[in-house]
Structure 1
């Protein structure tokens, strides 16, 4: 994952997607650490940027963060944490190496090499894996009671697993995935019927859709269709 404003935007509009990121940013004007871990988000975030900004990152798919770091994902939710706060060993050196790379590709390779040194023998949680698979196949449109029955797991146990490995509850995660998928549909259709899209995604009605969309996007579905501001990049 690599992003650049090329000097044309004043910031990044980042919305929840259910993932955790390891992010390198080469411009202190963003207010971000050079190397940071961005926890699972439950609300939109605006990152200011002045001049040319290049960000390179590694995106951990839901549940993948634990293969590389021991910290609970719950402790990172809605936070941007300097990498050195999570692992002081080699964090500063890795940051310097990435800064000294001259291309985006070499920076990506540097981050990949670092993560390979942290990759541990980690037995995936079969219950969590099954739950994530069901949520993906239903685009988040499933009741937690039905999800628990389908994967044969109690709701409390499932809640603990999600908060520890992903950072949010199963219900919140489903809401994020449904928002993410619906947002993608809206961006692909030339003239979408908002009510039809909302009902197809499992929202009760237009009001429910607008409320949930604004919760994660920071603006209404209609505003998305009008296109992003020339002063920002939507991610």
Structure 2
């Protein structure tokens, strides 16, 4: 039994939120590598999960046992690891657009770049409790969408940052439209600022450097092309997306998904890739 449903957010939230994803799966003791799509932070709420299920990072002490209905924040570069899932696995995901996290929390998004932790850890206790109470009291996630919108609209209304110097949203949109294939020198010249100034503002608002963010966008576009082509010529696709050689491509695969292109094709294009594919389709910008 597998079910994946995408819900668009309220229009007023579109500058901050890509949308909501509900995934319902029945899993029989699968242990598999996992990675979170890079470049977009998210709030993850487990609605149903076996108490013995957990995520494990390369550090043996880094196991995460999720509590039901508790919101977790997942950073743009959350680490790779292994999932140990048994039984029912229902999850509701709120996916931020690249600049949304900047307005969502106090401080720079850089503080959660590679982390996956409870929202309370970042001082968002009140919001976390509202979301937890909402999902605890509703059996069906689709009945929660209107209230999730209201909760997030109220939150963003109270914390949105106005009069931002060097707003990066238009730059990010252009990067997304061009699949990350854009010269940073071109942007700096257009903004009439130094590269250091541009990079500092970008990091503060997005949480990542502009160079890394462009690499992620390009890589996500490549993954989507791979998923849509069951018999890919990976070298031809690599050249299409601006990779100069095979080692260049391997470097990004190892950094962003923790495996070689060959291993990715074996694991993710044939089995258990529904969640990752749905995320990439709906949240690729």
Band of TM-score, shorter chain? 0.7 to 0.9
Deviation, 1:84, is: 1.9
Deviating beyond 6 angstroms after TM superposition, the runs of 4 or more aligned structure 1 residues are none
Which one has a larger percent strand, Structure 1 or Structure 2?
2
Alignment of 1:40-55 (within 5 A): 40-41=76-77, 43-55=79-91
Residue 226 of structure 1 aligns to a residue in which SS? helix
Deviation, 1:15, is: 3.2
Deviation, 1:128, is: 0.5
Q: 2:95 aligns with which of 59, 78, 84?
A: 59
1:203/1:80 Cα in 2 relative to 1: closer, same or farther (>3 Å)? same
Runs of 5+ in structure 2 lacking a partner?
Answer: 1-20, 55-64, 277-285
Q: Residues of 2 paired with 1:218 and 1:186: CA distance?
A: 17
Partners of 1:141 and 1:178 within 8 A in 2: yes
Deviation, 1:18, is: 0.9
Which one is further off, 9-18 or 60-69? 9-18
Runs of 5+ in structure 1 lacking a partner?
Answer: none
The higher-RCO structure (CA 8 Å, 6+ apart) is 1
Residue 125 of structure 2 aligns to a residue in which SS? coil
Paired position in structure 2 for 1:32: 66
In the alignment, does 2:133 pair up with 1:99? no
TM-score computed with the length of structure 2 as normaliser: 0.73
1:212/1:206 Cα in 2 relative to 1: closer, same or farther (>3 Å)? same
In the alignment, does 2:23 pair up with 1:3? yes
Count of paired positions: 235
Q: 2:155 aligns with which of 115, 118, 124?
A: 118
Which one is further off, 40-49 or 63-72? 40-49
Q: Residues of 2 paired with 1:171 and 1:115: CA distance?
A: 30
Deviation, 1:227, is: 4.3
Partners of 2:23 and 2:275 within 8 A in 1: no
TM-score computed with the length of structure 1 as normaliser: 0.87
